[in-house]
Amino acid sequence: MTFMALILKNLVRQRMRTALTVLGISVGITTVVALGVVLSGVRQTASAVLRAYDSDFIVAQKGSSDLTFSIVTEDEVEALRRRDDVADAVGALFHVSRVGGNPFFVMIGVEAEDIVDQGPQITEGRRIQPGADDEAMIGSRAASTLDLDVGGTLETEERDFTVVGIYKADNIWEDNGAYAALDVVQEIAGKPNAVTAVYVKVAQGEDPDAVADRIEDEHRGLTSISSVDEYSEVDQGIEIMDAMNLAISALAVGIGAIGVMNTMIMSVFERTREIGILRAVGWRGSRIVRMILGESLLLCGVAAVFGSALGVLASRMVLLIPTVRSLLEPQYEAQVFVRALVVALIVAIVGAVYPAVRAVRLTPMEALRHE
């Protein structure tokens, strides 16, 4: 019998115990994968928000708990536009409204002139016109969900808009929302003469990081965001999800390791005489350790595969909820599954340490006398 065959035989001796251990570890891996996939989607959406209008970075109110709570005055927007090191600055106001069954529909208020050249790609109809307070452009996903065409009526909680154009955006939050005139969205949101964020394009030859630092120095109440890692300056959501992902990974390791340790201790206890015989016929302690560690790694490897598949399935099932589908597009990045594999590996090693040490401490004579 080969070494690997012996490992497999040891695991299938107690099929129910092995299956329950694999299931327990799989639940932890499922959570790690599902949350990782969701977090990757959130980060991808956040990155897309930062890159709208071909900007180098955005400027928002420092210390905001959520980006939608940020307030930048129109005077500050004009001050940014007048800077010699800034080529363009586009102010945008984000307002979350209920439309149909979606309570998180994003209305984006901008000056009509600002989206002529830099706005999203129009697939049907036209862009909103300056001074047209009742016009709106709607994203293709939102149009499909709400069954709206050009000429239809977009009904929000506050007022109705005539759909004059349908656009296609690269990011889900924009494609599931709509554009309207800035002054109209300001009135709806109750934020006169204010925007949520300013999309800044630096002048040719300027270093974006240097320009961002100068803006922060001259405008103490504002902060610049150029990457998702800096997003916590204006939105704590991603930082909280990162912390949750780390905490759940640690919890999965702890609970999984206890389950594996329990299984392996029971297995070693039941095979005490067998281990004594193996030692008596010349097996080294290191080989006993490799056998127990091999069993643990195989257990956790199967759990990692099974748990990863369940995690993907869970993330797809979440999308069956219309509200979630309008805000999130899961991203199945390789690093999510690598993290799940690392968690499984740590669980296997931690769970096997004590049983392996206990097994090699037994002398052949003590093991053979065991009843």
pLDDT tens, residue by residue, 224-261: 887 777 666 666 666 666 777 777 777 777 777 777 77
State yes or no: pLDDT of 354 exceeds 70. Answer: yes
Express as a percent the part of the chain with pLDDT over 70: 90
pLDDT attached to residue 231: 67
pLDDT band, very low/low/confident/very high, at 162 (cuts 50, 70, 90)? very high
State yes or no: pLDDT of 202 exceeds 70. Answer: yes
Residue whose entry in the numeric block shows the structure tokens 């340790």: 261
pLDDT attached to residue 166: 92
* Residues 6+ positions from 243 with CB-CB distance below 8 Å: none
Question: From CA 121, how far away is CA 143, in angstroms rounded?
Answer: 14
Helices (H), 62-151: 74-81, 115-118, 140-146
Question: From CA 257, how far away is CA 300, in angstroms rounded?
Answer: 10
Q: Which is higher by pLDDT, 257 or 289?
A: 289
Which residue from 70, 48, 52 is spatially nearest to 61, judged by alpha carbons? 70
pLDDT in tens, 307-341: 899 888 888 887 777 666 666 777 788 888 888 88
Q: Can you spell out the DSSP letters for 117-128?
A: HHSPEEEEE-PP
Q: What is the mean pLDDT of residues 166-181?
A: 86
Question: From CA 258, how far away is CA 236, in angstroms rounded?
Answer: 33
The most confident of the ranges 64-73, 120-129, 275-284 is 120-129
pLDDT band, very low/low/confident/very high, at 370 (cuts 50, 70, 90)? low
Q: Which is higher by pLDDT, 363 or 12?
A: 12
State yes or no: pLDDT of 100 exceeds 80. Answer: no
State yes or no: pLDDT of 113 exceeds 80. Answer: no
Mean pLDDT (the chain) is: 81
User: Which residues in 230-243 are b (16+ Cβ under 10 Å) and which e?
Assistant: ebebbbeebeebee
pLDDT band, very low/low/confident/very high, at 138 (cuts 50, 70, 90)? very high
Q: Which is higher by pLDDT, 202 or 52?
A: 202
* Residues 6+ positions from 96 with CB-CB distance below 8 Å: 68, 103, 104, 105, 106, 107
Question: From CA 350, how far away is CA 155, in angstroms rounded?
Answer: 57
pLDDT attached to residue 366: 64
Residue 14 · residue 313 · CB < 8 Å = no
State yes or no: pLDDT of 220 exceeds 90. Answer: no
pLDDT attached to residue 137: 92
pLDDT attached to residue 164: 92
Q: What is the mean pLDDT of residues 155-166?
A: 88
The most confident of the ranges 19-28, 64-73, 75-84, 116-125 is 75-84
pLDDT in tens, 291-301: 888 888 888 88
